[in-house]
Amino acid sequence: MNSKNSVDQSMRRYIIETKQVIHPFELPASKLPVLNKPIFEHQEDVFKHLKIKEKPLFISSLEEINQSTYQALVYRDDIYFNKELVLEFLKKASSIGKPARLAFLDTDSCFSVNAFYP
């Protein structure tokens, strides 16, 4: 990461494909629309806005990732995120200098209110 709003444009992206169908929609979550756009298309828009040049590599499990010294980001195709979340995560991950994982505590009220059924 070079500055506050930039990322390594040659960063490798690995997308874990999830093909589980969501009932009653009968589609994988990556194809379900959020704000009138399928989740996968939204993800691609986020990375296009960040000017990431590398095309994503689609995988079905973490074992398929090639070990390298390149900066890489691994995420599932059914996760909704925004540019700010990606930038903040990459900034913090770069600062520790080793692989990092983004997770939310189930006690985080923002997460528990919006992610769990009432």
Each domain of the chain, given as residue ranges in start order, spans 12-115
Residue 19, C-beta contacts closer than 8 angstroms, at least 6 positions apart: 28
Contact in structure between 21 and 27 (CB atoms under 8 Å): yes
Residue 39: which pLDDT band, with cuts at 50, 70 and 90?
very high
Residue 78 near residue 16, CB atoms below 8 Å: no
Q: What is the pTM of this model?
A: 0.79
How far is it, in rounded angstroms, from Cα 6 to Cα 49? 10
pLDDT digit string, tens, across residues 53-92:
788 999 999 999 988 777 889 999 988 899 999 999 989 9
Q: What is the pLDDT of residue 72?
A: 87
Number of DSSP helices (H) and strands (E) in the chain, helices first: 3, 7
User: What does the pLDDT read at residue 108?
Assistant: 77
